[in-house]
Structure 1
Amino acid sequence: MKDENKNFVLFAVLAALILFGWPLVQNRFFPTANPPVTKVEDGKSKPLPQPQADPAADSPTAIRDRATVLAGSPRIAIETPRVRGSLNLKGGRIDDLVLVRHKETIAKNSPPIRLLSPSGTADAYFAAFGWSGQGVTAPPADAVWQATGAKLTPATPVTLETRSGSQVYRMTISVDDGYMFTVRQSLLNAGTAPVQAATYGLLSRRAAPADKDTWTIHSGPIYEAGGGVKFDVDYKHVDEAVQKFTTPGGWLGFTDHYWLTALVPDQGAPHEIAFRNAGDSRHQADFRPTAPVTIAPGQAATQTARFFAGAKEVDILDRYQDAGVAQFGNSIDWGWFGVVEKPIFHYLDWLFRLVGNFGVAIIMLTLTIRLLVFPIAQRQFASMAAVRAIQPKMKAIQERYKDDKQRQQQEIMALYKAEKVNPFAGCLPTLIQIPIFYALYKVLLLTIEMRHQPFVLWIKDLSAPDPLTPVNLFGLLAFTPPQMIAIGVVPILLGISMYFQFKLNPAPLDDTQKQIFAILPWVLMFVMAPFAVGLQVYWITTNCISIIQQRWLYSRHPQLKEAPAK
């Protein structure tokens, strides 16, 4: 009895640590879900603003400042199926871009995500290209380039030209139907002496993004070097010292949770890439070839680079990787379980296209997984039946050798061998589901395809927590409860489903274990409450299938329901 009380106290302490300590761990290593997109008030779902989704959020001040800056320079319109904006002829910069297929909030009149803003605005974020080197007279930053066209579209590239000193500079900029710009730069040496020159490209970002950099999701500098995407540099490192790397080809830029800008130099030549603090709260990513070219008088040199500015859509990134941009599909931080996550994403995305609802697709994914592991679950129940049948013998051994733990373990292992029982066989289905569960967690958290995807009723975003909670009487009381106690309806359903599933499990002989299993569903309910609703839908569906499956298997293994012999 003393040992049972000790075990129960230990479990109570562990449960308290989970409830109160887990939020501290999850915020750093396992961010639970995207911020809520709705708030339930007076029983109705109302959209919430999402400034963290936009690195250049359209606050009233930013809109006014941006409009003033945009009007202060001549521009060429940019128009594609996915982006809108303008090309700045003063300096030849790509500095005005919105993503027309992605909205800031779920509201019908929500503006699109703004990715790039011109210099002089509160959140300046732009790309620029040019030449530098010995004997080169670079155009000034405010030089106005002459343009050959009036609009940049996938069908109509634009050529810009300017002259500085004895050099003539040209940029032919084209854009595809995705998010990739191609910049073909030419330098004509109209002087009397040869020059040594090399192109460069830079990204300038005035303010750090609102997206938090965590162990699970990297937000900040990103680059590819040596055949792998690197997430090991953050803004703090850049502020301390310039981060330089030499790589054949490669690419670099800044990543947010869902958005990415990346400079892609010529993949056939070695380059020096760097991240640096440019002052005035600006961070810069830039590249330049390691070897300049010599341009004789009357001759010209041409070099080509690409610039990605858009959403991290899986199919689009993979398309550019297949087109020669090394490891571009891994700019999404899949992590260690990428080999599981990407197939789950593609299957889930296929199901979504089939049924048109991601919640239903998650349920169908769960059914598929349970169907695949059904034969293993049958063996699990058979193993549970065998272990239950020998529990009285195990109890007798524990009583007989309670003062000799080593001998006790030896006798129990001998009993397993004699009865042909594998006590670990029942763990296999759980072990199989751990990487699947974690992979779905990462898919819901990472992929923009899951962003703002509704399910039913009040659930408007499967990648966010459940906003409907009885703590404030389902929004009828005018206060927002703290996250720790704001248990939503879906997490409550999760706790109930776990309770009934545990009730169907064979009752343990030990009273302390019975108490633990009675409390565990409600502890897990609190732990899971801040996670994405989509993850909870998966778990509830799994529990419901398990309940049905257990009832069916009980009919085949009735000894599981019987009380063990004394």
Structure 2
Amino acid sequence: MQQNNGLDKNQLISFALFSMLLIGFMFYFQNKQQNEEQLKEGENSAKVTQTVQQNPAKPAIATNLNDSVKTTSIQSIELKNKELTLGISTLGGQISTVQLNEYKAYDKPADKNDKPLLLLDKNNSAYGFQFKDKTGKVFSTKDLVFSPSQKGNSVTMQANVNGAIIQFTYTLLDKYTVDFDVKTQGLSQLIQDQKANFIWDYNVRGQEKGRSQEQTHTEFNYTFNNYKSFDYDGRTTMDEASETLNWLAIKQQFFSAVIEPQNGFKNSKGSQEMVEEGEYLKKFNFDGQVALAGNELNQNFKWYFMPLDLQLLKSYEGKNFDELLPLGWSFIGTMNRWFFIPMYNFISSWGIAAGWVIFLMTIFVKIILSPVMFKQHKLSAMMRVIRPEIDEVNTKYKDADPMKRQQETMAVYRKAGVNQMAGCLPGLLQVPIFYALFRFFPNMIDLRGKSFWFAKDLTAYDDVIKLPFHIPFLQDHLSIFAIACTAVILIYTIMTAGNIQQPTQPGMPNMKVLMYIFPVTFLFFLNTSASGLSWYYFVSNAINILIILVINYWILDEKKIHAQIQANKQKEPKPEGKFQKRMREMMEKAQEQQKMQQQQAAKGKKK
């Protein structure tokens, strides 16, 4: 049989028909796709990105919004300096893209900060001015298509609405500031109110590793009272009907977008909604009124897209921007601003790794607190020596009134010259320090992205140990720094638990058990917190353990302490301090009330 490698007549006809049918389908779907793309151009933001050169063609003036959308292509104009790259869309005449050039966002697959840091992108932000015309209909600049005219780092956007001209001029200034000048002409012929509403919808994109921590720091911030007063809202709806806002910020953990109106926002309202998963953290909506002059909107605004660096924020004099950095209220914030941040900056100027900077910070804090810590550990040793006599009192007055037993116990301490309250001072000092550092580590932008050992970012948790399941509060990982910190706190607790006096009153909890539980609960707190905080407290508690060992074995002599206590007993007791006197009087009063209640109860039974 001869092999035929060609095509017969029927095959040729079939092939020709199939080709014609295929070409017809291609033309049909191509036309359909073009129609769909043209429709999308009118409904959504820019599909075509085009940088408009200087002296462009005059804008096409449409008689209504629909004609404008259909006849004008959507473009994006780029403005750029060292710090920012902006994209300004002709749809709405608004800033549609903001990239901070000197920073990177967290990339989860790579587990490091190597993505472009985009505050605005992919239509996650939309803002504009909303007006009501004389027929009662509402229209917004967000829906208009503007025509651009660019000159250097300034672009003017112009739109025509039924004969009225709306003009936005954006000028990228130094660093992180964008001047936003708004002018209208002929608007007074269209609208009936002496006000416009500035509407801003913003879906905040996550930039950091710790989602829950970043969500906590993502919130409304604003000033009023001529920049003197500051407030924030991270959970509920915002309602400032009586105040004029000098600026409004939607801030994240390390970055913020701020809008500042020349004459302020009045009757401001806002809402926020948590996003459980995905690239966005929260959905924000803001509505604030701006005043018109003669039914025309001629007002200057400024946008700021900036990192939350304290030195940078302070450089904007009179704006009160440094309040954007949540370092804590009152004394806590003062401690961070004037102690911990300067200390960190000073040590880091030596050029050492961030983890070792934190280590030396811990040493310096311990040196400052060393006199108080020494008194605390000396008191602990004295209480350990006097423990047999306290146990003897508890045994002697075992069946007595609890108040009587407590009074006798305090008398033993007083005769021995042991002030129980002196041991509370170091603990009280640690509370503001702990809270200050709790604010410091997750908000110190200089620590952002700094690695140390197995922690890739000291402002986020380390997750070397990944779990195949999710545990409430712990999530799906175990932080090595958190585990290490919990372990040293537990060791320190065991070493000091012997000094804790167990309350003898019926129904009182076992204090030692509670002390052992506390370090375990600390693990749940630290596991999703900044690893820098866990590292600091690991070093701090390790030093505490070392101090106890040195004091117990090389400095304090328990025999001498015992002799001193015995000598104190032979002396006249020191007069009661004000606090001790007050405590004794309170206990005596409580004891009298208890006796009266018992007597009344006894009379009631006899009746």
Give the Cα–Cα distance (whole angstroms) in 2 for the partners of residues 359 and 75 of structure 1.
43
| 1:264 to 2:260 alignment | yes
Partner amino acid for 1:179?
A: Y
1:166 deviates by: 5.0
Equivalent of 1:382, from 378, 381, 385?
378
Report Cα offsets for 1:56-81 as digits up to 9, x if no partner.
Answer: xxxxxxxxx98836566222212122
User: What per-residue deviation string (whole Å, max 9, x for no partner) do you get for residues 229-277 of structure 1?
Assistant: 333474x747xxxx4524234222433333432321125x573323369
Q: Which runs of 5+ in 1 are unaligned?
A: 1-64, 473-478
Q: CA 1:358 to 1:193, structure 2 compared with 1: closer, same or farther past 3 Å?
A: closer
Say whether the 8 Å CA contact 2:214–2:252 is kept in structure 1.
no
Q: How does 1:340-379 map to 2 (within 5 A)?
A: 340-343=335-338, 344-379=340-375
State the AA in 2 paired with 1:494: C
Give deviations 1:292-331, integer Å, cap 9, x for gaps: 3127xxxx874211122343333333333x2x33x43223
Cα gap change, 1:93 to 1:101, in 2 (>3 Å): same
Query: Are 1:304 and 2:300 counterparts?
Result: yes
1:330 corresponds to:
323
1:546 aligns with 2:544: yes
Q: Deviations over 1:397-438 (max 9, x none)?
A: 111112221111111222222222111212322221222122
Any residues of structure 2 matched to 1:190-205 within 5 Å, and which? 201-205=198-202
| Structure 2 residue corresponding to 1:467, chosen from 463, 466, 476 | 463
- Distance in structure 2 (CA, Å) of the matches to 1:452 and 1:130: 41
Distance 1:212 1:200 in 2: 32
How far apart are 1:184 and its partner, in Å? 1.9
- Give the distance between the partners of 2:310 and 2:457, measured in 1 at CA: 19
Corresponding residue number in structure 2 for 1:84: 85
Q: CA deviation at 1:199?
A: 6.1
Q: Which has the higher contact order (CA 8 A, sep 6+)?
A: 1
Give the counterpart letter for 1:223 in structure 2: Y
Deviates more, 1:165-174 or 1:404-413: 165-174
Q: Report whether the alignment pairs 1:557 with 2:550.
A: no
Other structure's SS at 2:143 match = coil
Partner SS state of residue 73, structure 1: coil
Partner of 2:287: 286
Q: 1:420 to 1:507 in 2, by over 3 A?
A: same
Aligned to 1:428: 425
Inter-partner Cα distance in structure 1 for 2:185 and 2:518 = 74
Query: d(CA) in 2 for partners of 1:485 and 1:191?
Result: 59
Alpha carbons 1:75, 1:89 under 8 Å: kept = yes
Distance 1:109 1:405 in 2: 61
| Structure 1: distance between partners of 2:478 and 2:272 | 43
Given the alignment, which residue of 178, 202, 218 partners 1:181? 178
Q: Distance in 1 between matches of 2:95 and 2:341?
A: 32
Structure 1 residue 497 and structure 2 residue 488: aligned? yes
Determine the structure 2 residue equivalent to 1:68.
47
Normalising by structure 1, report the TM-score. 0.69
Contact 2:105 2:113 in 1 (8 A): no
Does residue 1:339 correspond to 2:341, yes or no? Answer: no
Which whole-Å CA distance do the structure 2 matches of 1:100 and 1:247 have between them? 35
Match of 1:535 in 2: 533
Question: In the alignment, residue 266 of structure 1 is paired with which amino acid?
Answer: Q
Q: Paired residues, what number? A: 469
Partner Cα separation in structure 2 for residue 481 and residue 270 of structure 1: 44
Summarize the alignment of residues 201-212 of structure 1 with structure 2, pairs less than 5 Å apart: 201-205=198-202
Aligned position for 1:114: 118
Contact 2:134–2:191, Cα closer than 8 Å, also in 1? no
Instruction: Work out which of the residue numbers 145, 148, 159 in structure 2 matches 1:146.
Output: 148
Counterparts in 2 of 1:560 and 1:176: CA distance versus 1, 3 Å: farther
Kindly indicate whether the alpha-carbon contact (under 8 Å) linking 2:215 and 2:252 is maintained by their aligned counterparts in 1: no
Cα distance in structure 1, aligned partners of 2:404 and 2:434: 38
Aligned mates of 1:525, 1:277 — CA distance in 2: 30
Residues 213 and 513 (structure 1 numbering): CA distance in 2 closer, same or farther, change over 3 Å?
Answer: closer
How many angstroms apart in 2 are the aligned matches of 1:389 and 1:521? 27
SS at match of 2:544: helix
Distance 1:174 1:328 in 2: 21
Kindly indicate which of the two structures has a greater share of residues assigned to helix.
2
* Cα drift, residue 215 of structure 1: 12
Q: TM-score, normalised by structure 2?
A: 0.65
Partner SS, residue 293 of structure 1: coil
Distance 1:215 1:485 in 2: 17
Letter aligned with residue 485 of structure 2: L
Cα distance in 2 for residues equivalent to 1:277 and 1:501: 43
Task: Specify which of 247, 250, 259 is matched with residue 251 of structure 1.
Answer: 247
Q: What are the superposed Cα offsets for residues 199-253 of structure 1, whole Å, 9 maximum, x if unpaired?
A: 654322258979978899353444334554333474x747xxxx45242342224
Letter aligned with residue 96 of structure 2: D
Q: Which amino acid aligns with 1:414?
A: A
Within 2, Cα distance between the matches of 1:262 and 1:286?
Answer: 14
CA distance in structure 1 between the partners assigned to 2:272 and 2:355 by the alignment: 43
Write the distance in 1 (CA, Å) between the matches of 2:283 and 2:373.
56
Q: Mean Cα displacement is larger for which, 554-563 or 305-314?
A: 554-563
Q: What is the letter of the counterpart of residue 68 of structure 1?
A: K
Aligned equivalent of 2:41: none
Q: Is the 8 A contact 2:385 2:562 kept in 1?
A: no
Q: Secondary structure at the match of 1:467?
A: coil
Ranges in structure 2 where 5+ consecutive residues have no aligned partner: 1-43, 51-72, 274-281, 503-509, 567-607
Deviation at 1:363, TM superposition (A): 1.0
- Once the two structures are superposed, residues 468-508 of structure 1 have per-residue CA deviations (whole angstroms, 9 ceiling, x without a partner) of 33x88xxxxxx578547954443443345345545654845
The 3-state SS of whatever aligns with 1:355 is coil
Q: Report the alpha carbon displacement of residue 182 of structure 1 after superposing the two structures with TM.
A: 1.7
What is the SS of the residue equivalent to 1:250? Answer: strand
